[in-house]
Chain A
């Protein structure tokens, strides 16, 4: 303890202690001089004698520094000064290395930032805490587990677990139309919260006192609502806004980044209202609705696992009760509902979050590691070249008595300094990339955070890189026999020296290849996705209409009871019917947002057709309401359309499905597809059996190529599931959609006067937007990949150019004794080519591993695509390597033997 304090003191007060030591020793010598002068010596003689008596002052001071344990600090300072001088003398190579490193590190940090923000951070504006948890409900749906929101009864049961949770809060959200400050109509997401909501999330309003317990008809505005609708008026407190005729007093403004426990308002226009106001603002609603989501704070000392076990017990009991009660009134609970306790993260409301997070970590981790290794190999090769150029300097220092360890330390210090500079630059580059990223994709469901952890990661990566790329050249450069190296002019070849450099070139190619393969695969996957995302036929004649809180009834989130679901359907069909009456409208159908089946492997069940015995294919399923197919211009050719009753099959039996004629032909040839079944290749929870009840015309034929990827239509369950509570109307116009829009608006206002239209767009516009985002993503990956490839090529070029430069003497001799320029070029180029081949062979297994990791992203990629990608990339890398060698080799061949040899 004392020692540590004393050590710290000697490090921190180094300068003062140094001064004190010098003063003390000088004082000693002065007093000796005085004493000797008193004995009669002349001042000069006395001083000389005193110094003699004292001993070697410089040596003793060094001993004193060693005693204080701060010698390393002095040496570090000297090393740093030396390194800085070296950098200033070689600005170009320093800048190149820092830039290359900074880009490599920045790519890593961006990947880290995305992974970290997505998998490890609480919702935006909520402070990270291990005590914060979500109680997450789920049930089996199409294609696996999906989120299931709770009934109030369940929420209360969990809130009763007072031994485990210090506070439990629930919320439910609904878009509503409100009358703003100037009586204008604004659409906001109203989030109804229980008393503990803000307390659990630890969020304090920036203005006002917030929601007090037992208060009603009050609201806290989101920062965006405050700034957009109230121009950040500080006097907003106490003013009222009217939501569905209910005046609500504003009592607070939330912090700028706060979006609640889950991001629900895409435009951040949100207000938080006490749960008590729900029945006032949104007239009669189903008490048993499964619409509540839950966050909680663990009691100190309680682990998530312990809380999870307690929640499980309660869930078992209450879900059994609920199931029994539902069975009596004819409605039913979803399949296999359950509840679990998970950390409160921004985006983990859905049960598939953990799988996605793992995949993201794996993919980004592989990409990051490869980028870092390529960068290091690149810089290492550059450094080896530079260290060789400094060999004379190193040798002279060693011959003057510098120890090898000392010089290695010097070189490593230099590299760590470079890495630190690059780390600093990488922070800037990262922030810029994040900004561009956000500009392209708009808002994300999680907040991209660059915080202390990210900084720690950045400099961790930078210093690791510094050691990685710096150590081997340093070790190598100092491993020279002094006599040999001094004799050796800078232009002759030594086997070992070229060896390391060649090794690094090979390493670089070996790493570049898998990286390029992964990037190419990702880009290709993106292109596949783009092609799969085929436009709906006549999309410009189809309009999507979304409403906020249409009318007195909260239509889209009523749930639980069959009667309520029926009411919901009637309500929407009433609107759809009214819209169908408009001249120029060909049809309108309600379409709830329902979980769909994401791409899943299927096979023909039972007695299969001749061609597709057990061979699996991929199916994407979309849950739709009856009448949907007609609207999207896919007429039924055979069999029937879907019916309401079809949803019963989700609980038991084969799910009725409508398939395209191309799929029917592909699976069953000319045989009758009706009544045939296909089953998912997966077992267990996700297992699913589909029965063909109809065949529709696939308007866009996949131009003959045998696709293994089909989409089918399944019956949409109109019961709410908690996921995206709002449905929409799809309206088909017979002529121009633009012309029909005013009429549609009028009908909506007449039929459901208090509803606000939140979306009225053609499908063409919506699909364009989706494609734009996809294109942006592909472009971004492509750009990143090209940067890495360019980095690699530059490194290769620099290394070879340097090696050639070093061998000009040899080239000159060869040419002097009759070698032709072409022979010289061939010699160097074939050398580079050989290195390239070796690198590619070494990199091949890595490419395979990388592709394996990426494959789950696009299981339908044709099997031949990946080997093809690998080969093309290998050829590409080889060509780049060839070019990077050929250019300097050609320059070498222009060597004038007379000039070069005279120089030596």
Chain B
């Protein structure tokens, strides 16, 4: 599928990648995204949830309720086999895309073109 919404696609990839590293709940996932992206991805913390539900509905994530360390019940998300495959696919196409983009951007201005 094409990525009409660049950010949505990116957010999904980030979620999948982070959950592959370690299954976790929505709150901790938000903190982790914020920490890693250094506030580059400046979105509301809550935007993560619709993304999680979409991925869950598509069978890419599985969720389970469990008690966290301070006794709160939280919903812990983990990657399914389909999710792992989706992540690999997305990474491959992303790398292809960013490689192409980098190649285009590295082309300098043609000599004599300066006006």
Q: Which of B27, B53, B65, B73 has the most CB of A within 10 A?
A: B53
The residue among B46, B54, B56, B65 with the most chain A CB atoms within 10 A of its own CB is: B46
Rounded to whole Å, the gap between the CB of A25 and the closest CB of chain B is 6
Residue contact B53 to A55, C-beta cutoff 8 Å: no
| CB-based contact A27/B74 at 8 Å | yes
B54 cross-chain contacts in A, Cβ below 8 A: 67
Q: How far is the CA of A31 from the CA of B30 in the complex (A)?
A: 12
Instruction: Determine the distance from Cα of A277 to Cα of B31 in the docked complex, in whole angstroms.
Output: 92
Given contacts A60-B49, A66-B50, contact A28 B57 (CB under 8 A): no
Contact, CB under 8 Å: B27 / A32? yes
* Partner-contacting stretch, out of A2-10, A200-208, A501-509, A755-763: A2-10
Which residues of chain A from 52 to 70 have a CB within 8 Å of any chain B CB?
53-57, 60, 63-64, 66-69
Q: A24 near B: Cβ within 8 Å?
A: yes
Q: Does B47 sit at the interface, judged by CB under 8 A?
A: yes
Give the residue of B26, B53, B73 whose beta carbon is less than 8 angstroms from that of A28: B26
Partner of B45, one of A7, A54, A64, A66: A54
B82 at the interface (CB under 8 A from A): yes
Shortest Cβ distance from B95 into chain A, in angstroms?
27
Give the residue name and chain of the A residue nearest to B29 (CB). A28
If A3-B58, A27-B27 touch, does A68 touch B53 (CB 8 Å cutoff)? yes
* Shortest beta-carbon distance from A76 to chain B in Å: 19
Given contacts A3-B58, A3-B59, A28-B30, contact A54 B72 (CB under 8 A): no
Q: Do A69 and B57 touch across chains, with their CB atoms under 8 A apart?
A: yes
Nearest CB on A from B54, distance (A): 4
Name the contact of A32 in the complex, choosing from B45, B49, B65 (C-beta under 8 A). Answer: B45
A60 to chain B: which residues have CB within 8 Å? Answer: 44, 46-47, 49-50
In the docked arrangement, what's the CA distance between A174 and B80, Å? Answer: 73
B46→A54 contact, CB < 8 A: yes
**In the complex, A25 Cα to B51 Cα: how many Å?**
13
A7 to B54, CA, bound (A): 11
Q: A1-38 CB contact bits vs B (8 Å, 1 = yes)? A: 01100110010000000001101110110111000000
Contacting pair A27 B72 (CB below 8 A):
yes
Who on chain B is nearest to A52 by CB?
B44
Contact B26 A64 (CB under 8 A): no
Decide if A57 touches B46 in the complex (CB within 8 Å).
yes
Q: How far is the CA of A23 from the CA of B26 in the complex (A)?
A: 12
Q: B45 CB to closest chain A CB, in angstroms? A: 5
The secondary-structure label for the interface of chain B is helix
Q: Is B75 an interface residue (CB 8 A)?
A: yes
Measured in the bound complex, the distance between the Cα atoms of B47 and A69 in whole Å is: 17
Residues 31-67 of B at the A interface (beta carbon under 8 Å) = 44-47, 49-51, 53-54, 56-59, 65
Partner of A67, one of B44, B50, B74: B50
Q: Which residue of B lies closest to A55 (CB)?
A: B44
Nearest-CB distance from A2 to chain B (Å)? 4
Contacts of A7 in B (CB 8 A): 57
* B50 and A28 form a contact (CB under 8 A): no
Name A's interface SS. helix
Q: Is the CB of A31 within 8 A of B75?
A: no
B82 neighbours in A (Cβ, 8 Å) = 2
Complex: A54 Cα to B44 Cα, angstroms: 5
**Inside 8 A of A66's CB, which chain B residues have their CB?**
50
Candidates B46, B49, B72; contact of A31 at CB < 8 Å: B72
| Min CB–CB distance B83 → chain A (angstroms) | 11
Residues of B within 8 A of A20 (CB): 65, 75
Give the distance in Å from the alpha carbon of A55 to the alpha carbon of B26 in the complex.
14
Q: Verify A55–B59 contact, CB threshold 8 A.
A: no
Residues of B within 8 A of A24 (CB): 26, 49, 74-75
A32 to B72, CA, bound (A): 13
Which residue of the partner chain, among B44, B50, B65, B73, contacts A64 with CB atoms under 8 Å?
A: B50
Given contacts A10-B57, A69-B57, contact A64 B49 (CB under 8 A): yes
Chain B residues closer than 8 Å to A25, beta-carbon distance = 46, 49
Residues in chain A near residue B51, CB distance under 8 A: 67
**Residues of the B chain whose Cβ atoms lie less than 8 Å from the Cβ of A28:** 26-27, 30, 45-46, 49
User: A67 to B57, Cβ gap below 8 A?
Assistant: yes
Determine the chain A residues whose CB is within 8 A of the CB of B59 once the complex forms: 2-3, 6
Task: Provide the bound-state CA to CA distance between A25 and B74, in Å.
Answer: 10
Closest partner residue, chain A, to B80 (CB atom): A2
Which chain A positions have C-beta within 8 A of B73?
23, 27
CB distance from B71 to the nearest CB of A (A): 12
Inter-subunit contact A67/B27 (CB<8 Å): no
Q: Is B27 a contact partner of A31 (Cβ separation < 8 A)? A: yes
Alpha-carbon distance between A64 and B26 when the two chains are bound, in angstroms = 13
A886 to B30 alpha-carbon distance, docked (Å): 74
- Nearest CB on B from A666, distance (A): 84
With CB as the reference atom, state the residue of chain B lying closest to A20.
B75
Check A67 against B46 for contact (C-beta < 8 Å).
no
What is the bound-complex CA distance between A323 and B51, given in angstroms?
84
Give the distance to chain A from B2, nearest Cβ to Cβ, in Å. 19
Residue with the highest number of chain B CB atoms closer than 10 Å, among A25, A28, A55, A69: A28
CA–CA, A60 and B82, complex, Å: 26
> What are the residues of chain A within 8 A of B26 when measuring CB–CB?
24, 28
B46 neighbours in A (Cβ, 8 Å): 25, 28, 54-57, 60
B49 contact set on A, CB distance < 8 A: 21, 24-25, 28, 60, 63-64
Q: How far is the CB of B22 from chain A (nearest CB, A)?
A: 18
* Per-position 1/0 for B69-107, Cβ under 8 A of A: 000111100000010000000000000000000000000
Across chains A and B, which 9 residue pairs bring their CB atoms closest together, nearest first?
A55-B44, A67-B53, A63-B50, A55-B46, A67-B54, A2-B59, A54-B46, A60-B46, A28-B27
| 15 A/B residue pairs, CB under 8 Å, sorted by A | A2-B59, A2-B82, A3-B57, A6-B57, A25-B46, A25-B49, A28-B30, A28-B49, A32-B27, A54-B46, A55-B47, A63-B50, A64-B53, A67-B50, A68-B53
Q: A53-B44, A54-B44, A67-B54 provided; 19 other pairs, C-beta below 8 A?
A: A2-B82, A3-B59, A6-B56, A24-B74, A25-B49, A27-B72, A27-B74, A28-B27, A32-B27, A53-B45, A54-B46, A55-B46, A56-B44, A60-B49, A64-B49, A64-B53, A66-B50, A67-B51, A67-B57
